[in-house]
């Protein structure tokens, strides 16, 4: 589980609020915009906006430097500078600190899902990557579309999660894909071309594109999760390949990234999350995250050693507590070529399930990267003269590896998918993760499933799922060693 991992990286000066930075909040009442500003590893939203939207009563306790938020008789207590909230006496952790700036209070956006939702007895989902807040029982599927040229035709391939029925119509030179939903969460459409389709945009629950001069008609395949729309030129068209039914593609990276030259991988460090007096999350049947991660780590080590013949080191091989920074240092000191950190997830939504693959988000490191440019220092060297060395703050070690880590994450997602491992929502997520931040090699964190979900808990304790996860990771390492790169082209969502 991530709660304990979210980096507490003080980013120094906070960026000024940017008016264009908004979350779109979708509820049964419609859409609203909630401004936010980025702060060390989280997004902060003004409490005033939430007060208005949810009809909250806020009372400031100037003496204690805190706030009491009351809603439907439930009390949420917030303290300036603290990344915790008390909800009806229960403490929940937040992804960042509550901040007071003049008269305005800012709260981490996940206060909505972690504190406000439970207090209001309302399901609230915060999608950090796409800046959506989904409140209550509304349908906001994630839509990914890309256009590809296939001979004379243009094929628009669309993935929808969760699967949602749609209708495709043509209105003049506009192609309209209307989803049976309250809104859609769609990233930019990749591969647009002026002769086929341009200017793709979201209008309500529809994806709309302007058709180019070469398009005379279209034909669409019908599948609520994955469908294709062929844009056809005038006149007879040679039979095109049948509309796609292959599984949804994983997130695709913009450039081809060389993960490792062939044979360059010698050492893999596997990190079994938690341990000792830190059990991690606990499933309804009592399964502990620390046991799940250790069991899979051991199996993975055996599989890699016996099938690929690499050196595999575990950050722990017993039920013991190992501090986060020591795990990273262990990987660095052993000059690991890859770091794989294993965790299990938990959610207040019992139905949330599936594995999740995460790499470090560069977004949160932009400011620091800039600072890094300025931190070259001259040092005297043996034999006279000086040399420029780069001062790399400990938690910036991952920066130069970020692209390769993202490529590694894409490979993991691809191979887990091949092994029929169910994935949770967004395929390869990026997040600020403490364990990865200091790693001086490509590094990826895998949440193997949700222990809060009874089916996932059972599957992680059985034979098939751990076997499939291990097989997917072994296949990933085989690819990395062979120098295989993840698919190029396209462009993921944001
Ligand atoms: Zn964990």
CA 452 to ligand 1 centroid distance, Å = 12
Residue indicated by tokens 């439930």: 74
CA 275 to ligand 1 centroid distance, Å = 10
Which pLDDT value is given to residue 248? 40
How far apart are the C-alpha atoms of 427 and 281, rounded to whole Å? 22
Which residue, among 199, 196, 221, has the nearest Cα to 209 in the 3D structure?
Answer: 199
Query: Backbone phi, then psi, for 482, in 5-degree steps?
Result: -80, -5
DSSP state of 109: T
Residue indicated by tokens 């997917």: 472
- Percentage helix, strand, coil, to 5, in the chain? 25, 35, 40
CA 294 to ligand 1 centroid distance, Å = 12
289-311 exposure pattern, b = at least 16 Cβ within 10 A, e = fewer: bbbbbbebbebbbebbeeeeebe
Q: What is the DSSP string of 397-465?
A: TTGGGHHHHHHHHHHHHHHHHHTT--EEEEEEEEE-BHHHHT-SS-EEEEEEEETTSHHHHHHHHSSHH
Which pLDDT value is given to residue 396? 66
CA 176 to ligand 1 centroid distance, Å = 42
Report cis status (omega within 30 of 0) of the bond before 322. Answer: no
Which pLDDT value is given to residue 369? 53
Other Cβ atoms less than 10 A from the Cβ of 459: the count is 19
CA 321 to ligand 1 centroid distance, Å = 13
For 80-173, list the strands marked E by DSSP.
84-87, 90-93, 99-101, 104-108, 124-127, 132-135, 142-150, 153-161, 166-171
CA 432 to ligand 1 centroid distance, Å = 14
CA 27 to ligand 1 centroid distance, Å = 31
CA 425 to ligand 1 centroid distance, Å = 18
CA 343 to ligand 1 centroid distance, Å = 4
CA 163 to ligand 1 centroid distance, Å = 29
CA 165 to ligand 1 centroid distance, Å = 35
CA 3 to ligand 1 centroid distance, Å = 7
CA 128 to ligand 1 centroid distance, Å = 19
Contact status, residue 47 vs residue 57, Cβ threshold 8 Å: no
Which residue, among 37, 38, 67, has the nearest Cα to 51 in the 3D structure?
Answer: 67
Sign of CA dihedral 10, 12, 16, 21: negative
CA 151 to ligand 1 centroid distance, Å = 48
CA 154 to ligand 1 centroid distance, Å = 44
Output the tens digit of pLDDT for each of the chain's 494 residues.
543 333 333 333 333 333 468 998 998 888 888 999 988 778 999 999 999 888 898 988 777 778 889 888 788 988 888 888 888 878 888 888 888 888 889 999 999 998 999 888 888 999 887 888 999 888 888 898 989 888 778 889 898 888 888 888 888 888 999 998 888 988 888 888 888 898 898 888 899 999 988 787 888 877 788 888 888 877 665 544 444 444 444 433 333 455 555 457 889 999 999 999 999 999 999 999 999 999 999 999 999 988 888 899 999 999 999 988 889 889 988 889 999 999 999 888 888 899 999 887 666 555 555 555 545 545 455 555 555 544 445 456 777 788 888 889 999 999 999 999 999 865 555 555 667 878 889 999 999 999 999 999 999 999 999 999 999 999 999 988 887 665 543 333 32
Which pLDDT value is given to residue 354? 94
How far apart are the C-alpha atoms of 218 and 233, rounded to whole Å? 9
CA 273 to ligand 1 centroid distance, Å = 6
CA 282 to ligand 1 centroid distance, Å = 10
CA 279 to ligand 1 centroid distance, Å = 9
CA 467 to ligand 1 centroid distance, Å = 20
CA 4 to ligand 1 centroid distance, Å = 7
Which pLDDT value is given to residue 247? 41
CA 272 to ligand 1 centroid distance, Å = 9
DSSP state of 137: S
How far apart are the C-alpha atoms of 143 and 474, rounded to whole Å? 30
CA 57 to ligand 1 centroid distance, Å = 34
Measured between alpha carbons, how far is residue 371 from residues 313, 365, 379, 390, 488 in Å?
Answer: 33, 10, 19, 12, 31
């Amino acid at each position: 589980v991530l709660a304990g991992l979210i980096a507490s990286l003080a980013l120094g000066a906070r960026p000024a609020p940017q008016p264009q930075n908004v979350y779109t909040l979708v509820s049964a009442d419609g859409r609203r915009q909630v401004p936010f500003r980025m702060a060390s590893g989280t997004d902060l939203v003004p409490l005033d906006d939430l007060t208005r939207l949810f009809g909250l009563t806020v009372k400031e306790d100037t003496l204690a430097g805190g706030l009491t938020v009351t809603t439907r008789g439930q009390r949420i207590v917030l303290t300036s500078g603290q990344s915790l909230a008390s909800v009806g006496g229960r403490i929940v952790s937040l992804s960042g600190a509550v901040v007071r700036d003049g008269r305005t209070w800012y709260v981490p956006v996940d206060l909505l899902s972690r504190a406000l939702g439970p207090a209001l007895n309302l399901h609230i989902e915060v999608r950090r990557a796409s800046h959506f807040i989904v409140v209550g029982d509304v349908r906001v599927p994630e839509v990914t579309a890309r256009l590809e040229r296939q001979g004379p035709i243009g094929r628009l391939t669309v993935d929808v999660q969760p699967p949602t029925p749609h209708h495709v119509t043509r209105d003049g030179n506009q192609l309209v894909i209307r989803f049976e939903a309250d809104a859609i969460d769609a990233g930019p459409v990749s591969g647009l071309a002026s002769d086929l389709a341009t200017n793709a945009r979201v209008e309500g629950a529809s994806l709309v594109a302007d058709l180019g001069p070469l398009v005379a008609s279209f034909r669409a395949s019908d599948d609520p999760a994955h469908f294709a729309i062929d844009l056809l030129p005038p006149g007879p068209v040679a039979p095109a390949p049948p509309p796609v039914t292959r599984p949804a593609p994983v997130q695709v990276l913009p450039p081809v990234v060389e993960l490792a030259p062939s044979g360059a991988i010698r050492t893999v460090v596997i990190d079994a999350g938690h341990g000792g007096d830190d059990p991690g999350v606990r499933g309804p049947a009592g399964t502990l995250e620390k046991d799940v991660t250790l069991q899979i780590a051991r199996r993975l080590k055996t599989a890699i050693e016996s099938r690929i013949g690499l050196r595999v080191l575990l950050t722990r091989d017993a039920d013991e507590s190992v501090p986060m920074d020591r795990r990273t240092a262990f990987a660095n000191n052993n000059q690991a070529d890859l770091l794989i950190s294993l965790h299990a997830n938990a959610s207040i939504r019992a139905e949330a399930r599936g594995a999740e693959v995460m790499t470090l988000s560069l977004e949160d490191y932009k400011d620091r990267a800039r600072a890094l440019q300025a931190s070259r220092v001259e040092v005297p060297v043996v034999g006279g003269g000086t040399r420029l060395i780069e001062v790399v703050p400990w938690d910036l070690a991952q920066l130069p590896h970020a692209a390769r880590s993202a490529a590694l994450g894409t490979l993991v997602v691809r191979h887990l998918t091949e092994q029929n491992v169910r994935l949770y929502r967004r395929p390869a997520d990026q997040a600020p993760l403490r364990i990865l931040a200091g790693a001086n090699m490509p590094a990826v964190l895998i949440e193997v499933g949700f222990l809060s979900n009874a089916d996932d808990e059972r599957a992680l304790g059985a034979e098939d799922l751990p076997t499939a996860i291990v097989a997917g990771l072994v296949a990933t390492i085989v690819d990395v060693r062979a120098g295989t790169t993840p698919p190029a082209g396209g462009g993921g969502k944001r």
